[in-house]
Amino acid sequence: MKNIVILISGGGSNMAAIVRAAERDRWLERFGARIAAVVSNKAEAGGLAIARTHGIETAVVPHKEFATREAFDEALAKAVDAHSPALVVLAGFMRILTPGFVGRYAGRLVNIHPSLLPAFPGLNTHQRAIDAGCKVAGVTVHQVTTELDHGPILAQAVVPVLPDDTAATLAGRVLAQEHQLYPRAIAAWLADTSSHKP
C-alpha cells in the first residue's frame, strides 16, 4: 500500500482536488495508493473538515506551540510517519521546512508553486509576473529540496496573462490549473513508482 500524506494550512482546495481524483480515478485499484492522512499546522484549517467528510484521518501540529522550527518539524515528522508515507504532498502548507525534514523525505516530498519555475520562486508570484510584463504565467509541481522552490520539476501548466489582469484574476485562473495539474502529476508519480517494482 502506498500511503499519501497531505500537508495543508488553509482551505485545502488542492488537497480536495487530489482526494476527488484519487476516488474518481481509482488510485487504490490502479496504484495501490490511498490518501492516508491530512495534517495541518492550524486547527482552524478548513481543509481538515473536507478530509474528514471523505473518511480521511486528520492531525493538527500547531507550529505556534514549538519554540524552534526544528522542534516543530520533528513533531510534524512524527505525525507524518505514523502513516508510513510513500509520498508527502504539500498543498498550501505555509511553512518553510527545515533541511532535516526535507532530507527525511527526499525523493518523496512534492510541492505545487503558482509560477513557471524557475521564474518567480517565493511569494507574490502573480503580481511579479504582471509587473515583469510576462505574456504567460502558470503553475509548477516539483520535488522539494532544501533550496526553496528549486527542486526537480515534475509537471507544469501554462496560463495566459491577459492585458487587464490583476494579481487576483490571474491567481484564479492559475488555481483552476493547479486543481487539474497536481492530481495528474501525483498519478504520474504513482504510475512511475509502480512500474519500477522489483
Is 113 labeled as catalytic in the residue annotation? yes
Rg, the chain, Cα only: 17
| CA dihedral sign of residues 180, 42, 60, 44 | negative
| CA dihedral sign of residues 95, 100, 105, 111 | positive
What separation, in Å, do the N-terminal and C-terminal C-alpha atoms of the chain show? 15
Q: Pick from 177, 196, 190: which is nearest to 26 by CA?
A: 190
What's the CA angle centered on 164, arms 160 and 170, to 5 degrees?
45
Q: d(Cα 153, Cα 104) in Å, to the nearest integer?
A: 19
Which residue in the list 54, 83, 113, 150 is annotated as catalytic? Answer: 113
Q: Which residues contact 120 (CB under 8 A, 6 or more apart)?
A: 128, 129
The residues annotated as belonging to the active site are 113
